Amino acid sequence: MTLGPPDKRLLVLDDDADVSFTICTIAKGAGHDARATTSADEFLHLVADWAPSHLIVDLAMPEVDGVEILKRLADIAFDGVVIVASGLGNRVLEAAGRAAAENGLNVSGVLGKPFTPNRLRELLSDKTHQPPLKAPENRPQEFQVTRQTLTAGLAEQQIGVYYQPKVSCAT
């Protein structure tokens, strides 16, 4: 396995091979050694063995949750740059990015799909226009959820209840 410049190694975890190919092509054009995989296990092995400087993690994958991968990266104290990617929408991306930062990851930003080559290059460069996502310094006081607070919140219509059905169609 050849090693590119230690500060310009990108590893991509995405279930869409076309998206991974596009990301790697753009990254290589920007001077990065880039690799991609669709397997979470292979991704984590490459993080340990290849020592990438940058990671792109897709949140929505069929066999593994991208948030779980971000948690595993935090557990191993990955100290490179992390970019959170997904087509799920900006609110989901931003929330996942903040959660990853709160867990100690160096999140440079989020990459919504579809994305522009310029946006990807911006996130990979040292000249990112937005500051890295950081955990809030002033965390709110812990709030204890009790039966009484839930009952009061529901009675005062401060809490909305929504259900998302899960359907499995085997044909």
Q: Does 162 reside within a domain?
A: no
> Does 153 reside within a domain?
no
Q: What is the predicted pLDDT for the residue at 158?
A: 83
State the average pLDDT for the chain: 85
* Closest listed residue to residue 64, CA positions, set 89, 42, 94, 93: 42
Using DSSP, state whether 73 is helix, strand or coil: helix
pLDDT at 89: 84
Is there a domain that residue 61 lies in? yes
> Could you list the residue range(s) of the whole structural domain that residue 44 is in?
9-135
Counting the structural domains of the chain, the total is 1
Angle between helices 66-75 and 90-102 (to 10 degrees): 20
Angstrom distance (rounded) from CA 24 to CA 98: 25
Interval 90-99 mean pLDDT: 91
> What is the CATH classification number for the domain harbouring 95?
3.40.50.2300
Judge whether 164 and 140 are in contact, CB under 8 Å. Answer: no
Residue 158 lies in a domain: no
Residue 27, domain member (yes or no): yes
Note the pLDDT of residue 23.
97
**Residue 122 belongs to some domain of the structure:** yes
Nearest alpha carbon to residue 71 among 42, 36, 40, 50: 40
CB 70 within 8 A of CB 40: no
Question: Which has the minimum average pLDDT: 44-48, 84-88, 137-141?
Answer: 137-141
**pLDDT value of residue 146:** 87
CA–CA dist 62, 100 (Å, integer): 20
Mean pLDDT of 4-26: 91
Give domain status of residue 170, yes or no: no
Of the candidates 106, 59, 123, 61, the residue with the CA atom closest to the CA atom of residue 85 = 59
Around 94, how many Cα atoms within 13 Å sit in the side-chain half-sphere?
Answer: 4
Q: pLDDT value at position 51?
A: 94
Residue 56 lies in a domain: yes
70 contacts 84 by C-beta, under 8 angstroms: yes
Q: Which residue has the higher pLDDT, 88 or 58?
A: 58
